[in-house]
């Protein structure tokens, strides 16, 4: 149980209500020491969450939900100390789901993660049972379409489904070259992308953009660039840098692809 530093209000143990007017009226503000140690602070309308308040935290409420449903799953604390009582993480060897409570309406916002920290789906629901059921299905190895069919509040993108099939790199290249939304940064990069997609060594890398500059990662899972950067200069010309910030040169699309390949030659891990 939480040990609050303030008097508690009837029906909502360990929570101090602020009898104020304005946007914060009716909200519960508490600063407490949890059973896991450390102080916790959050602003939540706990009248929307009587089931969570009764259990003292989302983590403990989810643990009870799993026990009642017969799911052999453990619930962990979120990494951020401020979310100890309003957030939770559930994981197995390959996948995980994190959940956090909404502050102004009853809603549990969820993120569904695949191996290597790949975020593939999100969803929001007001029902704790739906939180438990969708977590159980995802951690059981369900495909994205099956997860959505069972729990329609869970949404995913075509990119996520491509990643699930192992086609995330191919999908991203095609999306960048097609540029169906006419994104200005992709329009500026189009000539290079159209030439680069024909080069197998470049096409095997995961492309991404940062402030209008094109970068590359080894896979969709990696967070860091390999150190190859292509910056549009206008009039179909591009500046190529790498490894790291070192400038290799500037050229048209075909020439820039050749420059990019020299950078790959200099990178021993690509």
* pLDDT at residue 136, rounded to an integer: 98
217 and 208 Cβ atoms separated by less than 8 Å: yes
Question: Tens of pLDDT along 89-108?
Answer: 999 999 999 999 999 899 99
Residue 30 vs residue 268, higher pLDDT = 268
Higher-pLDDT residue of 50, 81: 50
- Spatial contact of 72 and 138, defined as CB atoms under 8 Å apart: no
Cα 187 from chain centre = 27
Work out the average pLDDT over 20-38.
Answer: 33
Numbers of helices and strands, H then E, in the chain: 9, 13
- pLDDT tier at 47, thresholds 50, 70, 90: very high
Nearest 5°: phi and psi at 135? -65, -45
Ranges of H-type helices in 17-153: 50-55, 58-69, 128-139, 144-150
Tokens representing 192 are 């290079």
pLDDT of residue 65: 97
Closest to 250 in 3D by CA, of 270, 235, 265, 269: 235
Compute the radius of gyration of the chain from its Cα atoms: 24
Any idea what DSSP says for residue 5?
S
Say whether 156 sits in a helix, a strand or coil. Answer: strand
Average pLDDT, the chain: 86
CA atoms within 13 A on the CB side of 163: 21
Q: DSSP for 89-129, please give it.
A: EEE-SS-EEEEEE-SSSS-EEEEEEEGGGEEEEEEEES-HH
Q: Give every CB contact of residue 50 below 8 A, 6+ residues apart in sequence.
A: 11, 12
Mean pLDDT for the stretch of residues 255-268: 94
The confidence score (pLDDT) of residue 43 equals 79
Q: Residue 30 pLDDT more than 80?
A: no
Element (H, E) at 253: helix 253-266
- 168, pLDDT greater than 80: yes
Domain chopping of the chain, boundaries: 3-164, 168-266
Would strands 87-91 and 237-241 be described as parallel, antiparallel, or unpaired? Answer: unpaired
The whole-angstrom separation of Cα 132 and Cα 135 is: 5
Return the number of other C-beta atoms located less than 10 Å from residue 108's C-beta.
26
- Percent of the chain's residues with pLDDT above 90: 76
**pLDDT, position 42:** 55
pLDDT of residue 11 exceeding 70, the answer is: no
- Please give the pLDDT value at position 269: 52
Q: pLDDT value at position 94?
A: 92
Most distant CA atoms of the chain, gap in Å: 73
Q: Is residue 29 predicted with pLDDT exceeding 50?
A: no
> pTM for this structure?
0.80
- Asked if residue 118 has a cis previous peptide bond (ω within 30° of 0), the answer is no
Distance CA 5, CA 32 (A): 6
Percent with pLDDT over 70 in the chain: 83
Residue with tokens 């290249």: 173
Exposed/middle/buried for residue 164 (C-beta within 10 Å: 0-12, 13-18, 19+): middle
Q: What is the pLDDT of residues 181-234, one digit of tens each?
A: 899 999 999 999 999 999 999 999 999 999 999 999 999 999 899 999 999 999
Given a cut of 80, is residue 41 above it in pLDDT? no
CA torsion sign for 220, 223, 229, 233 is: positive
Average pLDDT over residues 6-17: 30
Residue 13 pLDDT > 50, yes or no? no
Answer whether residue 249 shows pLDDT above 90.
Answer: yes
Q: Which residue did the predictor score with more confidence, 72 or 2?
A: 72
Residue in the structure block whose two tokens are 């983590």? 59
């Amino acid at each position: 149980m939480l040990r609050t530093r303030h008097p508690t209000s009837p029906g909502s143990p360990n929570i101090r209500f602020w009898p104020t007017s304005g946007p914060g009226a009716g909200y519960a503000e508490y600063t407490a020491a949890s059973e896991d140690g450390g102080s916790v602070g959050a602003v939540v309308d706990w009248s929307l969450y009587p089931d969570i308040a009764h259990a003292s935290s989302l983590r403990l409420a989810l643990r009870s939900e799993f026990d009642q449903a017969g799911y052999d799953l453990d619930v962990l604390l979120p990494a951020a100390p401020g979310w100890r009582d309003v957030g939770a993480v559930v994981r197995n060897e390959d996948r995980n789901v994190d959940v956090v409570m909404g502050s102004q309406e009853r809603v549990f916002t969820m993120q569904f993660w695949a191996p290597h920290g790949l975020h593939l789906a999100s969803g929001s629901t007001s029902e704790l049972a739906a939180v438990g059921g969708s977590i159980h299905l995802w951690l059981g190895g369900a495909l994205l379409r099956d997860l959505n069919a069972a729990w329609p509040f869970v949404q995913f993108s075509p990119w996520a489904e491509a990643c699930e099939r192992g086609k995330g790199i191919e999908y991203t290249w095609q999306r960048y070259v097609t540029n169906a939304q006419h994104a200005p940064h992709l329009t500026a990069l189009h000539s290079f992308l159209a030439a680069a997609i024909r080069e197998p060594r470049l096409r095997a890398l995961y492309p991404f953009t940062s402030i209008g500059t094109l970068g590359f990662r080894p896979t969709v899972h990696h967070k860091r660039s390999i150190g190859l950067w292509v910056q549009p200069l206008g009039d179909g010309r591009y500046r190529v840098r790498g490894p790291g910030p070192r400038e290799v040169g500037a050229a048209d699309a075909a020439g820039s692809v050749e420059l990019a390949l020299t950078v790959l030659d200099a990178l021993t891990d690509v």
